Each structure stands twice: as C-alpha cells, then as structure tokens.
Chains A and B, each alone.
Chain A
Amino acid sequence: DQQVKQNSPSLSVQEGRISILNCDYTNSMFDYFLWYKKYPAEGPTFLISISSIKDKNEDGRFTVFLNKSAKHLSLHIVPSQPGDSAVYFCAASAQTGNQFYFGTGTSLTVIP
C-alpha cells in the first residue's frame, strides 16, 4: 500500500517558467516531508524539507507547500532551468518511526 503518491510520472516545462510537482500522502502520522532530486546513475540528493508545523518553506528558487488537511504537498521551482531536469521524489516520515516513505517520482524536463 503506497503511503506516498506522486501521480504524475513526468512533467515538461519551458525554461524560465514555473514547475509544480505534486505529492499526496495517506498517513496522518507523517510530520516531516522532504524532496529529493535524482540524476541518472546517482543517489537521490536532498533538496528541501518541511515540518508539519509549517505550511511553506522556501530556499532560493525552490518552495515547498504543505496542506495538512488535504494531505498534499507541492514543490515549486521558479524560474525553471535546464539543469533542473531530473527525477524528483517526495518522502515522508513520522515522529514515531525510523523510515522514510518515498513516492514513485516525477521526471521533470525543462526545455531550453
């Protein structure tokens, strides 16, 4: 049973425009969320995180929004750059557990 879902396997965006990647979760115990970026043949690299006590966290071009009532989070990249082309995974964890639960990823292509 997939507790973290990324329903869009792929997304294409023009350079300079906004990229919005979405993630939904089912477990109400999740209280910490992360986004990872992955290039081929490399491990995921941490991008940005958010705690459930916040609804927004911003780091440069990257902003993560959390809607707890909808159990939904999104990653906004503005402006998108060709180097942002990668697979993006969202992950969630609960205070009571040890593991991170990952979505299946969204492949972002930024077109120059």
Chain B
Amino acid sequence: GAGVSQSPRYKVAKRGQDVALRCDPISGHVSLFWYQQALGQGPEFLTYFQNEAQLDKSGLPSDRFFAERPEGSVSTLKIQRTQQEDSAVYLCASNRDRNTQYFGPGTRLTVL
C-alpha cells in the first residue's frame, strides 16, 4: 500500500515568499503530525491533527506558520513571509494508533 507522500520534495524560496507544503497521509490514518528537522538535529514537533481538528499547535514557531487539514486527509503546511531560519526539512507523519508513526520523505525547504 501507499505510504505517506509529500510534495514538493524540494522547494527553494526567496526570503519573504509564501510557501505551501503538502502531505498525503496513509489512507484511514486519523492522526497527522508535522515536524521540522534542522540540519544535524532530530525532528521537532510543529502541530498535530486528529481528523480535521488541529488539537495541538504548540510547536509552530511563529504566527507565520499555519497548518490545515480541512477534510481530515490531506494536510497543508503554509509558511508566510519565509525567513532564512525557516530553511529545514519538513516531515509529515501519520498513524492509526499511538504505537508508531509513519513518516513521509520530507520537503527540503531552502530560503535564500
């Protein structure tokens, strides 16, 4: 079966541009997570959805970051007015239960 997919795989943005990153979770997975992974670091939690409800957004670093999952499946992470410090790999993960998370390949965002 299909795993978690993310698009685009690579994104280069000029400072100040808005970007939108897409995540297609595994079909039927209720929970969806977004993580940010800086170079040499582990993934850091950004936000969590259960179906369409965003239950935790405590990890979003600023109000320039916004995530949605309107129909409880596909999710979009939007970053407005990108800054150089936003450069990272953005990982999406989904799980059916608490026992594990299935990660997508990530989107590598580079802000120039």
Task: Assess A45 versus B103: contact at CB under 8 Å? Given A100-B45, A102-B42.
Answer: yes
Q: How many interface residues does A have (CB within 8 Å)?
A: 23
B25 interfacial by beta-carbon distance below 8 Å: no
Chain B residues in 8 Å Cβ range of A59: none
Q: B100 near A43 (CB under 8 angstroms)?
A: no
Decide: B41 and A104 in contact? CB cutoff 8 A. Answer: yes
A46 in contact with B100 given A89-B43, A99-B56, A104-B40 (CB within 8 Å) = yes
Max chain B C-beta neighbours (<10 A), residue from A46, A49, A99: A99
| Interface residue A75 (Cβ < 8 Å from any Cβ of B) | no
Number of A-B contacts (CB under 8 A): 56
Measured between C-beta atoms, what is the minimum distance from B44 to chain A in Å? 7
Binary CB contact string for chain A from 42 to 63 against chain B (1 if under 8 A, 0 otherwise): 1111100100000000000000
- Residues of B near A105 (CB, < 8 A) are 40-42
Contact among A4, A41, A49 with B100 in the assembled complex (CB-CB below 8 Å): A49
Separation of A36 and B103 alpha carbons in the complex (Å): 10
Q: Are B100 and A98 within 8 A (Cβ)?
A: no
Which residues of chain B are within 8 angstroms of A34 by Cβ–Cβ distance? 100-101
Q: Is B105 an interface residue (CB 8 A)?
A: yes
Q: Is the CB of A46 within 8 A of B102?
A: yes
List the A residue with the shortest CB-CB distance to B100.
A46
- Per-residue contact bits, chain B 35-47, to A (CB 8 Å; 1 contact, 0 not): 1000011111100
| Residues in B73-112 with C-beta less than 8 Å from chain A | 91, 93, 98-106
Q: Are A98 and B103 CB-contacts (below 8 A) given A43-B4, A104-B40, A104-B42? A: no
Residue with the greatest number of chain B CB neighbours at <10 A, chosen from A32, A93, A100, A105: A100
In the complex, the chain A residue whose C-beta lies closest to that of B3 is A43
Nearest CB of B to A65, in Å: 19
Most chain A CB within 10 A, of B35, B43, B55, is at B43
Supply 7 further A-B pairs (C-beta < 8 A) apart from A45-B103, A100-B45.
Answer: A32-B98, A34-B101, A36-B103, A42-B105, A98-B31, A98-B55, A103-B42
- Residue numbers of A with Cβ under 8 A of B are 4, 6, 32, 34, 36, 41-46, 49, 89, 91, 93, 98-105
